[in-house]
Chain A
Amino acid sequence: MTAGARDGGEIEALVTDRYLESLLAGGLGGSPAAGLAGLPGRRLSPDIGRAAARLRGDLPRLHPSFRFEERLAQRLAEVAAGLRLPAAAGGEGIVVPFGSPAGAGAGGGDPTAAFLFDAPLDERQDRVRPLLIGGALTSAALSLAGAAYVAWRRTRPPTTPMARAVRAVSRGRPA
């Protein structure tokens, strides 16, 4: 195919495209030439004009049954509920950096952090750590309970023969 023929084909396609824009916008008023005002000297093939008019009238938009529509709406609602579950488990939580009480109270700090640090917590220097606030409060509570259990357990060493043997070996190991 020559470059001229290819260009000719593209121009014809452009003319058809202009015509369709007007036809589908309902602005032709029955005159195919009206949509081609910006393309002087170019005429739409009458066959293409007739075919386009036929397709416009004979290709309706279809709608599924009401029953199907409602069933799928229900299914999507279930999927949406499933998507919200991870958020409930902490996905929507926000990370609040715990700064020092001095920094928070110096003005210009995060008001949330300032509120949290109204009373001093402890004197350690390494207390800057994130706290997840949101759906993970339950798991945080469980973690606190777990830490308390481990601390309590450490003060009460097991008295089984195996535990005694482990402690004896540990004491006998050179530092």
Chain B
Amino acid sequence: MARRAIWRVGQPEEAGRSRVTHLDRDHALVDAARVDPARFEALYRKYLAQVYSYAYYELGDHHDAEDATERTFVAALTNLGRFEERARPADGHGASTFRVWLFRIARNVVADRHRARSRRPETQLEAAEVLTVDPDLAGGVARREEARDAWQAVARLPGDRRRAVVLRFVDEMTTAEIAGVLGRSEGAVRVLIHRALRAVARDLGENRR
């Protein structure tokens, strides 16, 4: 059963005057977009880079990432009526369940793209070469090679470990938010990230030798 969308705070004796608060930091923007769909633009601008980054790290191709980003936002806009705020006090200040919901859509869109690619083989997705390092990266050739090594180490991680690392380091999500996106418990997400870091450390250590 879905949790209550809102939580009451305040003293019980303030019956009838208890304050009602929404924990989702995007609550006001979501409400505005529900009343007037044109105001969805604020949410779009806010999360564009995050969704695009997630799609790019997953797909390794700018065109595919753009396509996935477009599908994600169009699906979010047309299904906004189905979104239900489920932030919990345990999610902490600034928890955004809209962001979790949006990234669940992105995850499904990217998974669809993966399936399409497996039916019609193109580039090897998991291959590290698909991630190209930004040539403008400051610090010269050595710095770019270091960055490429790190990207390749992440690209070699298996599915959910890679996603958890990208959501943690690139999109700066909390463990609770990542758990919501991946449909796992917070403990499972902590273990995923810990093991991913161990693998990346091993990988980078071997590259150094």
Which A residues lie at the B interface, using CB under 8 A? 9-10, 12-14, 16-17, 20, 24, 45, 47-48, 50-52, 54-56, 58-64, 68-69, 72-73, 75-77, 79-81, 83-84
Contacts and interface: CB of A to CB of B under 8 A. Distances in A.
Given A76-B74, A76-B77, A83-B78, A58 B146 contact: yes
Interface stretch (B3-11, B34-42, B117-125): B34-42
A52 B197 contact: yes
Contacts of A20: 168, 193
B126 interface: no
Contacts of B194: 9, 12-13, 16-17, 48
B16 interface: no
Q: In terms of DSSP, what is the predominant structure of the interface of chain B?
A: helix
A72 B69 contact: yes
A62 B191 contact: no
A72 B70 contact: yes
Contacts of B78: 79, 83
Contact of A77 (B38, B56, B154): B38
B50 A81 contact: no
Nearest to A92: B35
Given A72-B73, A76-B74, A62 B204 contact: no
Contact of B193 (A16, A68, A77): A16
B66 A68 contact: yes
Interface in B183-209: 187, 190-191, 193-195, 197-198, 200-202, 204-205
29 contacts: A9-B191, A13-B190, A16-B190, A16-B193, A17-B190, A24-B168, A45-B198, A45-B201, A47-B202, A50-B201, A51-B201, A51-B204, A55-B150, A55-B197, A56-B169, A58-B151, A59-B57, A59-B154, A59-B170, A61-B49, A61-B50, A62-B49, A62-B53, A62-B56, A72-B44, A76-B40, A76-B44, A76-B73, A80-B37
B69 A76 contact: no
Contacts of B73: 72, 76
B31 interface: no
